[in-house]
Amino acid sequence: MITYREIKEIESEQLMDLYQSVGWVSYTANFARLKKGVANSLKVVTAWQEDRLVGLIRVVGDGQTIVYIQDILVNPTFHGKGIGSELMKRILAEYQEVRQTVLMTEEAPDIRHFYEKHGFNSCDQGQAVSFAIFK
């Protein structure tokens, strides 16, 4: 059984294990920065199987005019169980009155499908454009 909690202070080992499980080594390379980033997020919703962190979504922004889904990740062992969708639904419900909900991710058909089924439109379609600087 999966339970969901709003929590920003997550045990370091649990947080490291989750980010490493999905191969996000650019985050784990500077773990202190990741830990601070999670703690300073506008909102963090986590998914747990008993005492094991198996999923997380975190949002940054002002919570009024814009929110940015910074991270959404689920341990690959738990893919296909609806955890990512539940995390997304909770965030979208929380910020349904916010004009802009934004996220940036890699291009892949399954990833595109996941976000489109939750109401997101790709910035490569329509009148929107997106710019970023990656360091």
Task: Report domain extents, the chain.
Answer: 2-117
Other beta carbons within 10 Å of 72: 22
**Cβ atoms within 10 Å, residue 111:** 11
> pLDDT tier at 107 (50, 70, 90 boundaries)?
low
| pLDDT band (50, 70, 90) for residue 80 | very high
What tokens does 23 get?
């191969």
What topology is assigned to 2-117 in CATH?
Aminopeptidase (3.40.630)
Consecutive H or E run containing 124:
none
- On the question of pLDDT at 73 being above 90, the answer is yes
pLDDT at 1 over 90: yes
* Strands 66-74 and 52-61, sheet pairing: antiparallel
